Structure 1
């Protein structure tokens, strides 16, 4: 009873590893996919699936409004919204005004703007599913991660509030909370810090009961579940895809 064929899906951060893995999975399930991202589209990725790509800064509401309107015009009103876009700002008490503005502007306000301008389309469809990406960092404290973790806690709070607000419209709202996932961002950060990739992967793997980092496809599978009719009685919930990280 997946019920995903021909559904219109908006994915923010759609060119990132997790966003694009999710886009690919939902395209394979028969969805019509729109990708929002601040970055220019990668021609290699664009050739992989037939998706509508829109370059947009989600921290700017007018840009978001125009992007969502374009989705409705070209693909039809959205049934599913998956908010994966994130600004990675890792600072502690020393965080500047600009640090907070960037982190909050994308992770909280940006997520809210896209949701605001997608919900009316879902109402036209008689319901929908919103999946907000949080993280294990939305449950715990981590050294010098305040600017990041605060937004991931906030995403979980927004999700529960929106689940209340939108239930009458048959719109389900849930968070998906990955643990450490082996992505290009992980590899690039190791290179930037002159860290041994294999050693860092081993260290991160040992944080999880399954003794490895996750893969983008595993996160995408969980997102597809929450988007589908198989999750029809799930709203206001946190789905952990963390290899047992928080069970330790």
Structure 2
């Protein structure tokens, strides 16, 4: 991808799954990558990626729902880098409830998926502005387009991410900051397997069921989503903002 080498990128939810794949791809493209995650494993993930690519990859254990932790992180990164060029808002909580969802359920998922994403973006914007041509990539989902039984809590946040993407694209255009979202279909990650377990579903049976929902008849791979993110972060997408890029194997094409 054009224009990624040497750029500073922040990836939230980077300990595993999509976040890990995105960080690996950006590092392979020559970015200086910072991984944020609430999980301690983020440290080892950063070390593994740095060793694999030979490029600098840093990590920080941050709960993006905690405003103080987010502010402290960006104060620290500002002391080490003149600016940030790329922000990937990938961190998400997975909570699947329908109309019965309690206020506590809503607070739990909104605090990460919507408020946490907003906190990270707000605190990163001053560093993105300094770059003069920043890129924000938000992670939405096919679930941000459709209704699904017992998915109200999760889907609502993914609809919200798409709305934030378009509003922020308008707000930040004058600063040369582009804002887009990537909307994956079902991707075979640890998060997918954890969700199956939480819902009491057989993992392999659910894999077959959701694979058949895509016209390509398979689940996506994390690296395929990472390619979409890298494209939107790169100069190859310099005239693209406020858009949703589907990485869904044709899930919504039917």
TM-score category, normalised to shorter length: over 0.9
Task: Check whether the contact 2:165–2:179 (CA below 8 A) recurs between aligned residues.
Answer: yes
> 1:116 maps to what in 2?
122
Aligned-residue offset at 1:192: 5.4
TM-score relative to the length of structure 1: 0.96
Query: Counterparts in 2 of 1:76-87, with a 5 A limit?
Result: 76-87=82-93
Change (3 A) 1:194 1:62: closer
**1:219 pairs with 225, 237, 240, which one?**
225
For 2:7, the equivalent position in structure 1 comes to 7
User: TM-score with structure 2 length normalisation?
Assistant: 0.93
- Paired position in structure 1 for 2:204: 198
Partner secondary structure for residue 137 of structure 2: strand
Matches of 1:119 and 1:193, distance apart in 2:
37
Is the counterpart of residue 26 in structure 1 residue 26 in structure 2?
yes
Structure 1 Cα separation of the partners of residues 120 and 201 of structure 2: 36
1:1-248 correspondence runs (5 A): 2-42=2-42, 44-50=44-50, 51-191=57-197, 195-248=201-254
Which residue of structure 1 lines up, in the alignment, with residue 53 of structure 2? none
Partner SS for 1:236 = coil
Q: CA–CA distance in 2 between the matches of 1:45 and 1:59?
A: 21
Stretch deviating more after TM superposition (56-65 or 219-228): 56-65
Once residues 55 and 162 of structure 1 are traced to their aligned partners in structure 2, the CA distance between those partners, rounded to angstroms, is 26
Give unmatched runs, 5+ long, in structure 2. Answer: 51-56
**Distance in 1 between the 2:150 and 2:47 partners?**
39
State the number of aligned residues.
248
CA pair 188-157 structure 1, distance change in 2 beyond 3 A:
closer
